[in-house]
Amino acid sequence: MAKPLTKNTLTAGIARISVGTDDTPFDVHLELLCDHSPYFDDLYADRAQSPVTELPIHFPDDDPDVFSVLISWMYCGQIAVKPQSVLFLIKLWVLAGKFEMVELQNNVISLCKTWIDSKSDTAFDDHTIHYVYSHTLPKSPLRLLVIDTWVRSATKSRFLGSDNLPREFLEELCCALIEWKEGSMESLGHTNTASRYFVPTSPVQDSGREIPRRREVCEIKRLATPDQIRNRKFKRPSPRIRKASPASSLRVMTPISTDTENDSNSQITSGMSSLQV
């Protein structure tokens, strides 16, 4: 649900964010980010004391199309575009988890469940299964959704036609099938509601399912401190919208150093064109 866009939200500054290998720029109201995402609230914890909005944040490994839907949800309170595929929804769920946006994750699950229930022979394909298992931890609700769907819908020919499925997936699928055969597993029909796969909104509720903590999946990199900034030389910023080029790979200049034992007069020089998170 979208939070009211108050005066404080709309006048507290703009966060500059670049996403993907092509540095697709996003300008987002800072307080809107912090209201919806504990990740950004922690990242910009010093926003009242320092001009953090002047420092760009970069997410090179994320998909700009998925990120745009996430930002749209912050403003509108709903997933306003028709998903390109169930994999697109899963990527959105993973990205929302990275930014600790539980409400969006559960909205995505509801859409996924609706899509699954509308088809009688749904079974996630190999690529989607690999993506889920490489981006989640054991006992993730997203893994549970994949397993339940396979137990309900997969066929022998579908299974034999699969190649190199993750070992964890195969083990969990076998356990689920045995539980279903023994009658200890609840019915896997359309009666299962989306809430079975929701991420608990409070960590206290997570004692049984061991939902992966987003901070365990991705390390949070913080903004440079004022002292670090004063000790570094900054490169003149280039236009934000540009095509990927060899020069774009120099987004972050790492310190260059030499062995002080061989050259006592060596110095460390560094430059930074942007901060990468």
pLDDT at 101: 97
The reply to whether 113 falls in a domain is yes
Residue 91 C-alpha from the chain's centroid: 7
Q: Which residues contact 150 (CB under 8 A, 6 or more apart)?
A: 123, 124, 173, 176
- What is the phi-psi region of residue 17: left when phi exceeds 0, alpha when psi lies from -120 to 50, beta otherwise? beta
Q: How many Å from the N-terminal Cα to the C-terminal Cα in the chain?
A: 27
Amino acid at 83: P
pLDDT at 186: 59
3-class secondary structure, 246: helix
Least confident of 44-53, 120-129, 226-235, 251-260: 251-260
The reply to whether 160 falls in a domain is yes
3-class secondary structure, 187: coil
Q: Residue 232 corresponds to which tokens in the numbers above?
A: 């570094």
Q: Residue 121 corresponds to which tokens in the numbers above?
A: 């022979």
The structural domain count of the chain equals: 1
The reply to whether 28 falls in a domain is no
**Closest by CA position to 123, among listed 173, 198, 184, 181:** 173
CA distances from 273 to 27, 201, 232, 276 (A): 18, 37, 11, 9
**Closest by CA position to 141, among listed 81, 183, 177, 96:** 96
Least confident of 155-164, 222-231, 265-274: 265-274
The reply to whether 111 falls in a domain is yes
**Can you give the residue range of the structural domain that contains 94?**
65-217
Model confidence, pTM: 0.69
The reply to whether 137 falls in a domain is yes
pLDDT over 70 at 163, yes or no: yes
Note the pLDDT tens digit of each residue in 58-87: 999 999 999 999 999 999 988 977 777 899
pLDDT over 80 at 242, yes or no: no
pLDDT over 50 at 210, yes or no: no
The reply to whether 35 falls in a domain is no
Are 223 and 43 within 8 A, CB to CB?
yes
The reply to whether 56 falls in a domain is no
* Per-residue pLDDT band at 185 (split at 50, 70, 90): low
Main-chain dihedrals φ then ψ at residue 275, nearest 5 degrees: -95, 130
Rg (the chain; Cα; Å): 22
